[in-house]
Amino acid sequence: MLWNSIYEFDLCIGLLLLIFFGLFSLRNGHVALNHMRFLCQCWLLMITPLEVQDYALCLLTIVLLQNFHSFEALLFLLLGYVGQLYMLHSCNLVSFYICLEAQTLCVVVLCGLLARGASTSFSVEAALKFLLLSAMVSGMALFWFSAMYQRTGSLEMIGQETFWILLVMLFKLGVAPMHLWSVDLYGSIPKSLLLYLSTAPKLSLFTFWASSWHHDYSVGVFILFSMLIGSIGAYGQPALRSLFAYSTINEIGLLLLAVETAGFHTLYQHLGIYIITQLLLWNLTDKRLFLICAVSLAGLPPFAGFFGKAWIFWHAMSVQAFSLLAAALLCTVLSLVYYLRVIRLFWVTPVHIAASFIGAPNPTTLTSACAVALAFTPVMLIKPFII
């Protein structure tokens, strides 16, 4: 029993050593924050299991660490990573609940920790809304898990009625009509936390959905709500962040459509394109590179986002889900209209004004190369259509 838990002990001991070393060293001025960030990244590489989905989450967290500039934020990001890593391998209801709430707690604390300036009150208010709504949904799920255990005497996910797991996951993903908390958070939290919230939790939830949990419920209604609200709700939004918040809701609807019709290979393809686009979207100030990311997110050819969406539509047609396919095509056309606003803004507006909208540091060679690569990766994505 002890040997089977050696990995968990190693994980906890390593995290405690990082905390003690960072607190004493930073206080006495022996090391800089960049050195601690490097140690945290090395710790992630050493403790990650040898599985593809775990390394994908590890590499994403390593990239996200570059955007946080306080030791406390790095620690909470690592704690959130631990919750996400364990949730990928959750096999019963208790571990699922604990890992999910660990991520929620880290997001709420980071909202208050990173709030600065005039937006502090709005960030804390949005975090409290998210905390209260999340506590309500998780509390109902925990009550249902307790009732299931009382009735069956088992906490295993296999063979249990798992509707509340589906409901909790849809809430955490920000699926419509449970999306209002995500719009508030997107409009008020700092850019680094926005980047984390739009990538890592979605990767962990969808990976758990693909590897550890299976259900017989249809999510067609949530797909329709997400795509319609995500495409129509962005109209009239004065802030660029709110526009991309509704764009994210639309993208979540497309990812659920991939789960419903195409399968998890198509899901991972489009999810990978979406995560790379989000990483670039909030780390670029050059308006033309930003424009490439926005056009790829809109799904215009010949960029990578077009082929990710086209493959989902192809599979939806192959399984004869024509109603969902028609709604997805309509919402995609509607969303192109407000993306034209972004294209006009960042093509006409001078560079320094466009940069003020993004609020990001100067682009590096790596981010610029990745943004340009969005125009060339479709060459590798055409293969499924040829086959």
Tens digit of each residue's pLDDT (9 = 90 or more) over 355-365:
444 444 444 55
Of 96-110, 111-125, 209-223, 243-257, the poorest mean pLDDT is in 111-125
pLDDT, position 112: 79
List helix spans (H) across 88-119.
Answer: 93-114
Does the structure show a pLDDT above 80 at 346?
no
Structural domain spans, the chain: 218-349+368-386
Q: What is the pLDDT of residue 381?
A: 47
* pLDDT over threshold 90, residue 6: no
Average pLDDT rounded to a whole number, residues 57-74 = 88
How does pLDDT run across 92-105, given as a tens digit for each residue? 888 888 888 888 88
Quick one: pLDDT at residue 386? 36
Is residue 36 predicted with pLDDT exceeding 70? yes
Nearest in space to 156 (alpha carbons), one of 214, 246, 218, 91: 91
pLDDT value, residue 1: 44
Distances (CA, A) of 114 to 30, 111, 134: 24, 6, 20
Could you read off the pLDDT of 117-157 as tens digits, one per residue? 556 667 777 788 888 888 888 888 888 888 888 888 877 77
Kindly tell me the burial class for residue 383, based on how many C-beta atoms sit within 10 Å of its own C-beta (0-12, 13-18, 19 or more).
exposed
Question: pLDDT confidence of 257, banded at 50, 70, 90?
Answer: very high
What is the pLDDT at residue 262?
76
Quote the pLDDT of residue 22. 83
Give the pLDDT score at 367: 55
Between 44 and 1, name the one with better pLDDT: 44
Q: How many CB atoms lie within 10 A of CB 76?
A: 21
pLDDT over 90 at 39, yes or no? no
12-32 average pLDDT score: 80
- Among the residue ranges 11-20, 186-195, 347-356, the one predicted with the least confidence is 347-356
